[in-house]
Amino acid sequence: MIAEPIVYVSESALERLRVSAAHSHPLETGGILIGVTAGDSPWVTEVRTVDSPGRGPAQFILPRGVTQRAVRDARRADARLGYIGDWHSHPADVPASRTDLLTTRTTSLAMRRSVLLLVARHRGTTYALDMSMARGTRIVPCRMIPTGDLPLPAHQTDTTS
């Protein structure tokens, strides 16, 4: 049996995601997962929430062109960062839909690499988080490991004492 892929996620990104989902409730919201690769594992270091006119209680549509802009903005601050997937909330306690999975598979195939999908499901007073990874046509559940934030690049650290 193959172990679930591990995905590292900064605790600050998890908090921003939950706050965005709660603020948007009862409508869906979502956006982009930005990060780096740590060894063989993706590391989500930022969650970008994207305003979408195509959202409702059971729908979130990522507007065309926002992914490239979000990645470009993130790379201005830290050149190591890149797109690693999408996220959105479900105001009900339901998992990723067939449309969610198909979209993630299509993106993975187009990019010719693994792509993440994170769905925040409303459960009680909080949000349960489901992470999946598309590897070509396969989608597999992932194990999330909370982490601290990505350290600043060496050229941005303060070396004065």
Residue 160 has pLDDT above 60, yes or no: no
Contact in structure between 89 and 123 (CB atoms under 8 Å): no
Q: Does residue 26 have a cis peptide bond before it, meaning omega lies within 30 degrees of 0?
A: yes
With cut-offs at 50, 70 and 90, classify the pLDDT of residue 6: very high
Residue 157 has pLDDT above 60, yes or no: no
Residue 29 has pLDDT above 50, yes or no: yes
Max mean pLDDT range (1-10, 124-133, 150-159): 124-133
**In sequence order, which ranges of 6-142 are alpha helices (DSSP H)?**
11-24, 66-77, 98-111
Q: What tokens were used for 16?
A: 């921003």
Contact in structure between 81 and 111 (CB atoms under 8 Å): no
- Tell me, what DSSP letter sits at residue 107? H
Q: What is the overall mean pLDDT for the chain?
A: 91
pLDDT more than 70, % of the chain: 94
For CA atoms 91, 62, 78, 158, the dihedral sign is: negative
